[in-house]
Structures are given as C-alpha cells and as structure tokens.
Chain A
C-alpha cells in the first residue's frame, strides 16, 4: 500500500529525509520511530501529498506521488501531530466540514457513526474547545477516518494522553488493522510501537534499521537467560562458561545471567548440567530487551 524508492526531501541546505526506501503491505501496522527532528512528520507530509519530495518516487494506495496527488489525498487519512480542530465549532460540525471536503456521500450518517464509535456522540453539539485533550485526539482520529481511507498516517496518536485514554486509542488502532487498513504510525512511545507494530523502522534523517520488533532485538542483542538460584555458588560460573554456546556469564546476587545463541535448544542442556552440579534453581526466565534498548542503541 505504501512504496517508496530513494525518497528524499531537502529544505535548502538541510536534508530532512534522505534516500528512504520502504514497502508497507495492506493491513500492516508500520512503526516509524525516530527522535525529534528526524524527519518523521516530513515523511508523512510527503506520503500524504502535502509537500513534494526533492527526489525519489513513491506510490501510496496504488497512486503515484506527484502525479496523482488528489487521489492520494482522497484515499489516505492523516492524523496530524496537533489535533487542529476548529475550537468554536461543535464536534459534529468539525467532522461534517471535513466529510464534505472528502466528498463523503452520507455526511450525517458517517459523522454519527464515528462520533458513536469513539464515544463522543453525547457531546456532539459542544464546541471542540470544551473537550479534554483525549477527546480532542479522538475527534481528530474520527476526522482522519471519515472517508474510510485504506491508508492511515498517525503522527503521535497517544501523545499527551493519560494511560487509560492512550490504551483506548491503541485498542482502536488495533481494530483498524483488523479491518484491513494500513497504518503508518509515528510514535515516541516505544512500548506502544512494540505492542502494535508488525514492523518497525528506526529513522533519523535516513533509515537506520527496519524489521520486526523481535528481529531488531535479535540483530542487536544476544539472547539472555536468567537462572534464579536459592543460593549463589561461584563454582557454577566456570561450569556454564565451559559450554561452547555460552558467550557470557555473570553472577548478580543470586542470579546467574547467561548470554547464549539459542535458548530453546541450549536451555535443557544447561539446566541438566546445573542441577547435576547441585544448583538449586527456583525460576528460569529470559531477559527480554525492550524496544527502547534497541532504539537507543541504534540512535546513539
């Protein structure tokens, strides 16, 4: 649904986006991560046909960027970083205005559908200025969906929301994926990206990494298994270190932290050896690297 080839954008001497090549399939939630000023919003604006790329090419929803911009705008939904609502207008009037600009056939029906879906129907007649940040964000999401776009660009959809509201928005995004919509998600919330995204691109002016969250972890970090022992025993360290598949062993308090290649295959061997050596094992678990670890390592 989204395909870019060497897409670049320069503002004078400043390069905002450099040589971006990616493909996002239908029904995929694609995370686009990067620090402030990395060019994420510029990328969304280019793919939403709001600004022109300096070089490179792209297709969005099957339409060619630069040649079929009106069709692209008609077929994508953009949630901008700021909700950008008309504060003096009611929630209903805000949505109706955009529904008309998107040539929605049944404007009142579609407005009602999304206001109800996002729990705003009861407050439809109230000015947007009276809404909380979470309600404003929900209204902005409804606006991006009114014309039933198959491709959605969401720029920081849960930014500034309280945990409960953020969770509601995340659940809503997951429902959109079930409907088969393609979602291009820019976020600083790495936990959110980890939970929602099928694939993640780490971007800082140029592409630093692109893969599934699990694969990104695997590319950067060895897998680590933690054995919780009843009693610490220094003699266990050389025993474990002797195995060829073990790359590193550490004893931290009563925990034996072991880095190895393939826990699924190696753990039974290691466990047997430890038990035979008299180790009293309480629990065994995998030390899971967070996406934040991966992200920070890539960005730094």
Chain B
C-alpha cells in the first residue's frame, strides 16, 4: 500500500495548493458548524422556548426528549435539524476533492503518465479515494468537536448538552459520516469513469447529496425519526452500499475507456 500513500501525498500536495479548493474545504464546515451554534445561542435559555409545546413538534419526536424539560426538548428539536449537516460535510467535501483528483487529472492530461506506471487500479483508486475522503472526515470531526465545545459554552441545560453529545450523534458523526464519505467518493469515481465531460462529472457527483437531503427534510417534516437505532441501521446499510459501490467503481474504472473516450 506504499503507492497508495504516494498517491495520497501527491493529491494533497496538489489540491491544497489550489486556494479555491482549500477555501471550499474550510468554508463549508465553518458555516455548517456555526449554524447550529448560532441557533443554540440565539435561542438563549430554554425559558424563552417555554411557550413551545410538544404540539409544535412532530408527534414522534418527543420520544427522543426523555429526561428533557419541554423547553429543552424544543431546543433539541431545533438544533438537531442542523446537526444533520454534520453528516452532509463528509459527503460534500470529498465530492469536491474527487472532482479535482479524478476528473481534473484527465483534463490536465496527467492521468496517462500515471497509468503508464506499474501502479495498480486498486492502489490508484484507494489513494485517490482516501485522499478525497479523509480531509472531509477530519474536518467534520473537527467541526463536531468545535460544536460540542460551543454547546458547553452556550447551553444552559446539562441534560441538553448530554443529549446533543449522545450516542446517536456520535454514531452519526463518527460512523455514518465516514461511511457516507466512502459512498460519495465511490460515486464520484464511477461518474468520472464514465462521464466524458468534467463539468457533467462534477454535477452528477453532487447528486450523491440527494439521499441525505431527503433525510434532512424527512426529519423536519416528522416523516422520519432519527434515533440511535436508525443511525446504527443506517451504518449497517451504508457498509453494504459502500462495499457494492467500491466494487462497482473499481470495475467501472477501466483504464482503456478513460484513456480513449475522454477528449
């Protein structure tokens, strides 16, 4: 796997010299970390939400509020909508990276010399996938750490603080997030392998965000109730999906097709 590491180092060296990419990697997590904190800080204490009753929330959401006052439950309901964004980060950032690392290689005509070396397809794809996924995962975890620190400062309720750092969200951020990143990169690789235009590849790769948006709106509307059990099932499902996507991506990454079809 030494060559995988060689590819990862090259990817990072190249990508982080592009200020625009660096900006997109840093900007999105900053915004998505700040949003729930602003929400939490803006709400102030639970007293200000005392008028919020369970009737204002999706019927099944109150099941998650065990041990919380009514006001805390309201805060938790509002903040948790934005916490889903921590699952968006490891999905969106790798797509940006993958677009640069795979599609970009073809447009700059650097892929052919790489394919002419003894590097295997697995080493190449793994290197590119990890180089794309790890910054997104790292930044997400960092963002979540900052968020939790902010929660401790801004929250007036110890019970709410504990709820926001509960197992459900730890599974979401530390397990589901990375698995989503793998899925996003696999999709980007697949699209890159087949698309003939880098712009199309970038746009199609971004479609990987749609299922998460469905989850986001599903929770807001009360159609889906996200709890620890759902997060664990989601992780199991993602493992299966990732395995299938990685296998499919490796098969679709045909050196010959990439060299001869892309113009």
Contacts and interface: CB of A to CB of B under 8 A. Distances in A.
B199 interface: no
Interface in A92-120: 93, 97-98, 100-103
B116 interface: yes
Contacts of A157: none
- Residue picked from A76, A93, A101, most chain B C-beta under 10 Å: A101
Given A80-B109, A82-B109, A84-B109, A89 B116 contact: no
A50 B118 contact: no
Interface string A50-82: 111000000000000000001001101010101
A51 B114 contact: no
Interface stretch (B9-17, B66-74, B90-98): B9-17
Interface in B47-99: none
Interface in B77-134: 108-120
A84 B114 CA distance: 9
Contact of B112 (A11, A80, A100): A80
B116 A97 contact: no
Contact of A84 (B2, B112, B260): B112
Contacts of B110: 84-86
Contact of B118 (A51, A74, A83): A74
B39 interface: no
Nearest to A90: B13
Contacts of B255: 50-51
Given A51-B256, A51-B260, A70 B112 contact: no
A84 B14 contact: no
Contacts of A97: 6, 10
A36 to B, nearest CB: 14
A134 interface: no
A38 B10 CA distance: 35
- Residue picked from B17, B111, B118, B255, most chain A C-beta under 10 Å: B118
B13 A70 contact: no
B227 interface: no
Interface string A16-49: 0000000000000000000000000000010010
A70 B113 contact: no
Interface of B: 2-3, 6-7, 10, 13-14, 17-18, 108-120, 255-256, 259-260
20 contacts: A50-B112, A70-B118, A70-B120, A73-B116, A78-B112, A80-B112, A82-B109, A83-B109, A84-B112, A84-B113, A86-B10, A86-B14, A89-B14, A93-B13, A100-B2, A101-B6, A101-B119, A102-B118, A103-B118, A140-B113
Given A97-B6, A100-B6, 15 more contacts: A48-B116, A50-B115, A50-B116, A51-B259, A70-B120, A78-B112, A80-B116, A84-B110, A85-B110, A89-B14, A97-B10, A98-B114, A101-B3, A101-B119, A102-B118
